[in-house]
Amino acid sequence: MKRSILAIASVIVLLGACKKDKDNNSTTTTEDFITLKQTVLTDFTNKVAVAGYKDLDDASVALYSSLDALNANASETNLNTARTAWKNMRTVWEQCEGFLFGPVEDNDYDPNMDTWPTDYVQMDSLLASANPLEVSDIQNATLSLRGFHPIEYILFGNHGDRTAASITARQRKYMMSLATDLKATCHALYLSWTAAPENFADKVKTAGNGSDKYAKKQEVYLAIVESITAICEEVGEGKMKEPFDAKDPAIVESPYSGNSIADFKNNIIGLQNVYMGKYKEDGKGINELVALRNKALDNKIQSQIAAAISSFDNVTSYFEVAIINQRTQVQIVMDNLAALRTTLDEELKPFIIQNITD
């Protein structure tokens, strides 16, 4: 899933680099650093992760309500509201993908809601059958019949060619059960961080201090850095590069709504949220830890993140079109992401190993 060229070399380099540091640190900054190490974990947990999952939980309720309204009255207005609710929820989810570790991967919440592609053949058979399409039927169905993308297909058709009147009664029933299932998944994800028995937020915040998941703070910091590196690679070298190399619009994710570029950009905004420790509310981020010991590295990471995010705006067509006729702009985004990934993997990760040892 992830490449790590020079992994061994970077460990050796950082051993050699240990010396320099102490000369630069006054006692105050050392104390600041120690305090900050804990604050960053607390803020990441409360202000980024839990806040993000709370928003996702709320957004799934909003999507459900909008679909409920559409189900009761198939007007174009209600369809538009539902599409907006779907995109809003997508924004939150894609940003939460900036930290895909913990229950979201351990309990398979991710594939339960975000499996692609949609299985048209099975969907058609399912809709044409006498299956009651209750929530339990959906929850027993294969992954490619669940989650965001079948709802997207029903709401948007191809690039928004769906009309409210053309959504069949069976599709509406299916859509409501999908939304209920999605709501349940998002709520379970939120509870996995905030409530017993799992209470993952506690495991992160108490890392190196009683956490049964992370014996050292370094472990959870590495998990966080690994997760932002992974999403950077996933977007630049997976979601974008595969259709780009193949020049094949058929393998682009989120094609029904034309939302792919927004999805990718939100993934990287999610990465930025994690690094800066802020989502809606300001917190202390990894950036401040890095800045205390290596200002140049922090500047570099921040500017590379900003460059990557803004370069998405130059891709003005749907992504599945851009891979054919805006190849230069797409290539620039992928180059920016590759540069950022290299910095995260070869400079930020060694920085963490060197500076957070407890």
Partner 1 sequence: MKKLKLILGVAFVSAAFTMCRKAEQFSEEGYDERLSGGLATVFDETSKAFSHAMAGLSANDQHAHDLGDAAFEQTFVTAPAPMFGGLGPVFNNVSCISCHHNDGKGTPTAGAVNSSLLFRISTSGNNEFGGPAGMDGYGGQIQDVAIFGKQPEAQIQITYTDEVVTYADGTQVTLRKPVYTMQNAYVAMTGNYSLSPRLAPPVFGLGLLENIPESTIVSFADEGDADGDGISGRPNYVYNAQRKQKELGRFGLKANTPTVITQVAGAYHQDMGITSSIFTKESSWGQLQMDDKADDPELPDSILHAVAFYVRSLAVPARRDVNNAEVKRGKELFVQMNCAACHKPVVQTGVDVTFPAISNQRIQPYTDLLLHDMGEGLADNYNDFLANGREWRTAPLWGIGLFEKTNGTPYYLHDGRARTMEEAILWHGGEAERSKTKFVQLSKTDRQAVLKFLKSL
Choose the binding region for partner 1 from 31-39, 218-226, 298-306, 314-322 (rule: CB under 8 A): 218-226
CB closer to partner 1, 66 vs 194: 194
**CB 345 → partner 1: shortest distance, Å?**
10
Size of the chain in residues: 358
> What does the DSSP 8-state code read for residue 320?
H
Gyration radius of the chain's alpha carbons: 22
Using the rule CB under 8 A, is 159 a contact of partner 1? no
Contact 350, 219 (CB under 8 A): no
What phi and psi, each to the nearest 5 degrees, are found at residue 33? -65, -45
User: Which residue in 70, 104, 99 sits closest to 84, CA to CA?
Assistant: 70
One of 136, 142, 163, 310 touching partner 1 (CB under 8 A): 142
One of 35, 77, 84, 129 touching partner 1 (CB under 8 A): 129
Residues 226-265 that bind partner 1 (CB under 8 A): 226, 230, 237-238, 241-242, 248, 250-251
CB closer to partner 1, 4 vs 75: 4
Using the rule CB under 8 A, is 130 a contact of partner 1? no
CB closer to partner 1, 31 vs 106: 106
One of 105, 282, 313, 358 touching partner 1 (CB under 8 A): 105
One of 26, 27, 121, 196 touching partner 1 (CB under 8 A): 121
Using the rule CB under 8 A, is 270 a contact of partner 1? no
Contact 170, 71 (CB under 8 A): no
One of 6, 17, 72, 296 touching partner 1 (CB under 8 A): 6
> What does the DSSP 8-state code read for residue 239?
I
User: Which residue in 95, 159, 150, 98 sits closest to 126, CA to CA?
Assistant: 150
Using the rule CB under 8 A, is 13 a contact of partner 1? no
**CB 122 → partner 1: shortest distance, Å?**
5
- Give the other-Cβ count within 10 Å of 25's Cβ: 14
**CB 318 → partner 1: shortest distance, Å?**
17
Q: What is the DSSP string of 312-346?
A: GGG--S-HHHHHHH-HHHHHHHHHHHHHHHHHIII
Q: Give the separation between CA 273 and CA 178, rounded to whole angstroms.
A: 29
CB closer to partner 1, 248 vs 282: 248
Roughly what angle, to the nearest 10 degrees, separates helices 327-343 and 295-311? 160
Using the rule CB under 8 A, is 115 a contact of partner 1? yes
